[in-house]
Amino acid sequence: MFIIKSNQLITTLLIGLLLLGAKSLNAKDESLVQSIDPLVQTEVTYLFESEAELTLKEVTSPYMQSQFQEPGTTGLSFGWVDQPLWVKIKVKPPFPEKRLYLIVAWPLLDDISLHMLNKNGKVVSYHQAGDHYPFNKREIFDSNYVFSIPFDTGNIRTLYFRIKTTSSMQLPFSFISEQRYLKERAYHQTGQGFFYGLMAIMIFYSLFLYFSTRRLAYLHYVLFVASFTLLQAGLKGVGFQFVWPNLPALNDYAVATAGALSLLFLNLFARTFLQIQSEKTLVKINNVFLVIAGIFIFASLVLPYTWVIKPLAVSVIVSAFVVIGMAVYRYKQGFREARFYLLAWVAMVIGSVTYLFKQLGFLPVNLFTENSMQIGAGLEMLLLSLALADRLNTLRSELESTNLNLEKQVEDRTLELREAMENLEAANLVLEELSATDKLTGLKNRHHFDTTLSLELNRIKRNNDYLSLLLIDIDHFKSVNDTWGHVVGDRALRFVSDCLRKVVRRDIDKICRYGGEEFAIILPTTPKEGALAVAESIRRSVDSNDFVDQGNKFSITISVGVATTTQDINCNLEELIRAADIALYNAKSDGRNCTHLFLGDIKNDVDYDKKLSERFELEKLN
């Protein structure tokens, strides 16, 4: 009778604490939404190092910049990967005018290097952090990584993170003002205090029940809650912050060993609570997981963290579903307490599996996935306490109704999100096309040209194919502008663009406005003979069609330089452009309105600068 009343008291206390925790969580959620300063607009891209370690200078080179890519649907969450990660955060105007905090809400990153660059691309500040360094080396005393960003004095424009870790690779970051940071930190600490307070209540209460009833299930539950609490302290960085701040080597051991102990006591608790001793098949399955847990406990103490944590995470997921299956089986056999256990552990498993899927990179990092394991644990304790107080019937009917409503809401929300994503994808395609197009001529612009030519050069290195480049310059264009004005000059550019489109029609060929009165055409899989034929067709097309503007007839001609490369030549972007430019110089020198093919050494033409200077002088004279 006393135990039943104690159950009711503990249940009431847990409900009160969970309601307070929910209020704290809601407040924290609102703060989190506001924490990203509305004045900070960013463009985020990332790059994984392939083999050699990259320096900041190498990462900021034009070629490496073109290799950065935007995050996918899971954001900056990639699961367990071996390669170091570079993340570029480009601040977009309007630029902040005050100092802000940059929070990285993932304590298990081993090594973080942060480079802050000003508007001139110079490094104005550098920070290094990670859980492989003593805690007192951090700039701000926080379980997460917090960096002070001097937007007010440093003209910060770009941030580069280099991250190397044996844990899950993810970078959930946000910018926040100092005032909001202090408020959010208070909510966070309050929420964590409620969680660890719940853990302590359940440990001592279950110990009391064990000594009162001598049921082994309560002892196993105490050991599970204790190991799970240690696991959470490691995952959230709380243990490193308060318990072992000067022993960073313990971080990996704490997570791996506590995870293995949680796996062991989870299965022991299932064995005793569900009373499966008479079920030989269930006992054998349970024994397998007990042996696996024992192996992981030993391995976590002697093997590297990265070798242990991946198979351990998979084992925990599999074990969780096996335990639920055992509960379902026992419930169908008529074991009444199994339904209480089942509901409690479904909540726990959903939270744990959600968290592990976030670790593996299958789910994005957000407020729910980051705290799903703690949320699941809190619900699990509440449900077990309700089970001990024999109040599950009412709760189960409420949960069934809630689940139906939730499924409907999820279905409706999923449909809305799918439609929104389709609209967003369509808009992104339009924006991408606009960003790569020259407004005057409708051709692809110089940025698209550089990107496409780099990709084609990489392709021929793999496929041993031809690649030709045409550089085209309108003859005497300066005199057209000087005599008839820039409006007529713009129409002349559009006239030449139309002539180019009529001749160059393959989908793989790219016509680009190179700059001013110059155009460039990329011809993949085209040898020099084919490129010369295309160039001559273009020249004749422009020469044979008169440009007429408001009754005035103009004779427009062009000069074309042709350069062709192959895998054997192995030239880079600058060398191929230089070769085509030399050929264009020769065409200009040969009287204009003609086509020339580059016949020299594409990698070692020492007269390029001289010829380019002469071409500019020739243009001025004419």
Catalytic residues: 517
Query: Which stretch of DSSP H or E encloses residue 258?
Result: helix 250-273
**Beta strands 41-48; 156-164: pairing state:** unpaired
What gap in Å lies between CA 555 and CA 539, rounded to an integer? 13
- List Cα–Cα distances, 373 to 257, 293, 525, 592, in angstroms: 17, 20, 55, 73
Give the 3-state secondary structure of residue 103. Answer: strand
485 close to 467: Cβ distance less than 8 angstroms: no
From the list 559, 529, 577, the residue with the least C-alpha distance to 622 is 559
Amino acid at 435: S
Give the CA dihedral 348, 351, 355, 361, nearest 10 degrees.
120
Burial 383-392 (b: 16+ CB within 10 A, else e): bbbbbbbebb
| Burial of residue 368, with CB atoms counted within 10 A of its CB: 0-12 exposed, 13-18 middle, 19 or more buried | middle
518 close to 580: Cβ distance less than 8 angstroms: no
- List Cα–Cα distances, 600 to 158, 165, 305, 501, 580, in angstroms: 42, 49, 57, 30, 11
Give the 3-state secondary structure of residue 544. Answer: helix
Give the Cβ contact number of residue 538 at 10 Å.
Answer: 24
Q: What beta strand segments (E) does 419-499 contain?
A: 467-474
Q: Is the peptide bond before 94 cis (omega within 30 degrees of 0)?
A: yes
